Each structure stands twice: as C-alpha cells, then as structure tokens.
Structure 1
Amino acid sequence: MYWGIGAHGRKKKLTTPQSVIITVFGVSRNTISIWKKKDSTMQYWLEHLQDIFNYPKIDSIKFNNNSSQFDIDDIKEVFGKETKVKIRNTGCHAFNQMILQNFLLVKKLNIMPSNFPNSKILKRILMQNFDHLDIDSELQGTTTMTLDELLLINSRKSYIGFLRISAKQINKFIKLWQKGSNPCMEHLYIVNLRSEDSDKDIVMKGIKHDVIPDNQTRMFKNVGFTDTSLVTGGIDIHRMDGTKATIQIKKGLMVFTVQMYVWLDHCVV
C-alpha cells in the first residue's frame, strides 16, 4: 500500500492525503486502484480499508526513502499496532533511532547495518527478545559482527546476511551454545561470504555430532510463525542440558551458509 501525499509533498505531519493508491496482490496478477476523498485522514483510510478487507491487523510497516520527512509521533499514532518493522535506506541515522525507540515492542524487526552509524548494530537491539531479527536479508551489504556480539543475540529466529565471520568463530559459537549461551535461540541462519576457511570440517571441529542421512526429513516450527520448515539431513548436536540442534552447512560459489535449528518442545511438529 502506498499513500499518495499530493503535489506539494507534505512534510513532517501526516496530513490528509489527496489520494490513496491500493494494490491488491493476486496469484496471477495485481490489481491497482486509486481512491480519492480529499477530506479523509490517514486514520480514516486505514480503518476503512481494514473494514473492507475484514483484516484489523497491520502486519508490517516499512520505512524507506524520504520517510524521515514525516513526524514519527504521527506515524506511531496511525500505524502503531503492527507486529513487524522494516527499516531500509531512510537516509537519516537519527530518524532510524527514533523508529527503534517508538516501535520498541514489535515482534519482528528487519534492519540493515547501514541503518546505524559506522554500520555497527546497537547491542541493545541484539539483546532484545524478538520473534524474528532479520539483518539484511536483501543482502545489500556486509555485516560486521564479533563473536561476542553474536552471543548477545536473544531472538528466537535470526537471519544475518553477508556476515563477516570465520568458520573458526562459528565453531566457537556452537561450542558456547552447547554450554548454555543464546538460550532463546530456535533458528539461526547465517549467510557468510566465502573465504579460505569456509569448510564444514572447521565448523564442526571438536564437536561431537551425528550425521543425519539426506533422505531423512523433519518438520520444524518457530514460535510466532504459521509456516513450518522442512529440515533435510544435517548434523545433530546436543547442548549440555540435552537439547538437540541440527546444523546445516552449505557451500556455494560465493557464499557459505550455516543454519541451526534448535529442537525445543514447541518447535517439534
């Protein structure tokens, strides 16, 4: 959904829109409509559309180019009930901080390293207990994160795109998880730029494990998600408390991916 703001480009306040462009996404094609009612507020349009489609929720809100022109308090007042926030290239680090402060309690957060000064993701963001923390799934740049910062992640499901981390550090991370680190983690997906040490043997060195045949499949489900994941084969390991996890390692031409599924009771389908 895109909110048309008229020819004069209203700034700061979410003023009455001149028109609203509605896109309904279909299986074979999308339908685009332009509705005009110049005396209707943003709040009216939102509630009107929710009534039409019988869908009272706001699944997500995306902050993109020029978002920083608008008053964050207005945005929060009108659209403050969503469960997922996506921050892209707003062009303003200060505004990004305001987004994070005003939408602190969302369940799912989608960010990029470039949203932060010096591309350093705030530790308090890593430590927050999101259902899903998505760091650059669109692979717009590289993510720099130390092992200590990786150990701070407290989300149930995490995706980290183009992470600059060695296979040896991933090996240390897994060993520390076995000792009790990252207790909330259910699913971790790392896309790593391939390097000389991008090797499965280095990742698993010194870790007792069982190799699962590729023809064996299991169903996995994260908290807060309706869809299930099919886990094929992999490498099973155990934490000191007996919790099982499956690690999948794949090497491509340019990237080296590591996924880790933690089989908590509510994740087993």
Structure 2
Amino acid sequence: MNIDFYEESNLYWGIGAHGRKKKLTAPQTVNVYENGPKISDDTVATWENNTRTMQYWLKHLQDIFHYPKIDFIWFTADSSQFDIDDITEVFGSANQVWISDTGCYAFNQMILQNFLPVEKIIIKPANFQNAKIPGKILMQNFDFLDIDNGLEGPTSITLDELLLINSKKSYIGFFRISAKQINKFIKLWQRGSNSRMEYLGIDCTNVNEDDNEVIMEGISHQVIPADQRRRFKPAECGIPEVIEGGIDVSRRDGVKATILFRGRQFPAVEMVVWFDHCVMES
C-alpha cells in the first residue's frame, strides 16, 4: 500500500525562513494505492478537499499499524522545493536518512543539520558541491554508513578518508582506491584505528584479483579454507551472514578480522571484525 500526499505541483507554496518553499499545510488530496496480486487488481482511493494536517495523518497511520517509529526518510527529486523546517516539525527524527538527488546542495546541508545524529545514513559525493563527503560526516558514530557513488561515475576515496570513518558498518560503492592504500588501512587497523568498525565493504573500480597479494603484503595472516563457513552478525543488522573462507588477520588487542575478496561487476574487498557480539555459533 502506498499513500501519496502533496502531488499537486502548483499548490502549497508559501514564504518561510528559507524563502519561497512548499509548506506542509493540510494536503488537499490524499491518494491511497493498494497493490493486488496482479496489476489489474490494483485499486486507488482518493480523498479530496482534505482538511486534516500532515501531523494528523502521520499519527493516524502510526496508531493504525502500532508503529510509532519512522524507519527512514528519503529525500529525492524535488525535495528541495519543501520547507526543511516544516519537514523537521512534522516528522521529527528518523532511524535512517537517505539523501538522493534533491537538486540543491544547500538543502542537503540543511537536511544534515536538522536530522543528524541518526543511526543510518545513505549519501553520495554528488550531494556536496565539491563532490567530497565532509570529514565531520565520516566521523559520526553511525551504525551504518552507505556512500554509494552509483551511476555518477567512479571517484577516489583516500586512505585518510577511510581512517576518519567511525561507523560500525560501512559500504563504499564504486570508488577508486589503490591496493597499497587498502594494505596500509589494514595495517593501521591492526594498530588500533577504526576501533568501532564491524564491517567495511568497498567496491573498487581499479583493483583486480591480481592485487590480492599487494593488499596482504607484510601482513601476518591465516588463509581459511573456502569450505569453512562462519556466521557473522553485525550489531546494526538482525540477519546473520555466512562467511565462507577468507583471510584472517588480528589486531594488537587480539580481535580478529576476516578479509574477503569478491568477484562482482567491480572487484570488492570486504572486512568483517569478529567482536564477541558479532560471532554466532555455526
């Protein structure tokens, strides 16, 4: 079921603290789309001349489904037309914020100012005017940080930027980083950097299978047989993952991690850290 508000493009405009923006006044039309087993079974119901506020609708739906939380807010195309103060007032906080193509760098900054801290965030370099994720964002204590460059084209991430990341679980998608920088990152992790990290996944656009030896050069390690299966459960995710084989390394305090090399559209390097709460009995 989908419930759509504010679909009329020429309504709701007003003056707020940030200039002429769409205001979250009572939505004039509310469309409820119910999806059936087949497309032909889909139905839609429409309320017109609605006088109930957006706050009312949100509370009403939360009460019906006995779910007071907001799992995530997705800011996408034309989101910047709306008044960020109204959005914050109506929806308050959320567990996850996803900033997509809003069309406005300044609006993206206001999203971060109004909604951080959050547990999870999905962002990309194109959200920022210089196409770089600010260090103050990388340093946040997220449970999950997703930086997916996607179809924007590969860009670089530096070793210094990786070392700033303070999230438990991080995914870095479609970035250029050298095998030598990954090697240095693992060595620095062994010395105590990125101490909160439970999982790091990097889709590398310029690393291939032949670079595996470069990545592990000078690192004491143990190769785990490919048929050995271990169950891993990061804190932010209730679904355990099965880790097959890999290369085990240890931090100076005894905590172990497994390095995995995956063959996908782009080669991927993953690192899972075996904290006690991440280990599940096989």
TM-score when scaled to structure 1?
0.92
In structure 1, distance between residues paired with 2:268 and 2:7: 42
Verify: 1:104 aligned to 2:116, yes or no: yes
Closer, same or farther: CA 17–255 of 1 in aligned 2, 3 Å: same
Counterparts of 1:26 and 1:264 in 2: how far apart (Å)?
A: 44
User: Rg larger in 1 or in 2?
Assistant: 2
Contact conserved, 1:167 with 1:198, CA < 8 A, in 2?
Answer: no
Match runs of 1:89-238 below 5 Å: 89-136=101-148, 138-195=150-207, 199-238=211-250
**Counterpart position of 2:17:** none
Alpha-carbon separation, structure 2, partners of 1:154 and 1:178: 15
Aligned partners of 2:119 and 2:32: how far apart in 1?
26
2:107 counterpart of 1:74: no
Deviation sequence 1:112-156 (CA, Å, 0-9, x none): 110001201100000001000000175543242211111000000
1:267 partner amino acid: C
Residue pair 1:143, 1:161 contacting (<8 A) in 2 also: no
When structure 1 is superposed on structure 2, of 223-232 and 26-35 the one drifting more is 26-35
Map 1:52-67 to 2 at 5 A.
Answer: 52-67=64-79
Q: Which of 17, 25, 48 is matched with 1:15 structurally?
A: 25
1:16-62: per-residue Cα shift (whole Å, max 9, x none)? 11223345678988966444151011111111111222211111000
| Cα distance in structure 2, aligned partners of 1:84 and 1:249 | 28
Which residue among 3, 6, 17 is the counterpart of 2:5?
A: 3
- Give yes or no for the alignment of 1:263 onto 2:274: yes
Say if 1:174 and 1:27 are closer, same or farther in 2 by CA, change over 3 A: farther
Unaligned runs of 5+ in 2: 14-20
Question: Is 1:248–1:259's contact at 8 Å kept on the other side of the alignment?
Answer: yes
User: What CA distance in whole angstroms lies between the structure 1 residues aligned with 2:137 and 2:37?
Assistant: 36
Q: When the two structures are aligned, how many residues end up with a matched partner?
A: 268
CA gap of 1:26–1:211, structure 2 versus 1, over 3 A, is farther
- Using a 3 Å threshold, how does the CA distance of structure 1 residues 43 and 116 change in structure 2: closer, same or farther? same
| Contact 2:262-2:268 within 8 A present in 1 as well | yes
Per the TM alignment, residue 87 of structure 1 is displaced from its structure 2 partner at its CA by 0.2
Partner Cα separation in structure 1 for residue 37 and residue 244 of structure 2: 28
Residue 44 (1) aligns with residue 56 (2): yes
- RMSD of Structure 2 on Structure 1 (CA): 2.2
CA separation of 1:195 and 1:227: change in aligned 2, threshold 3 A: closer
Relative to 1, partners in 2 of residues 1:255 and 1:41: Cα closer, same or farther, differing over 3 Å? same
C-alpha deviation, 1:258, in angstroms: 0.5
Q: Percent identity?
A: 55
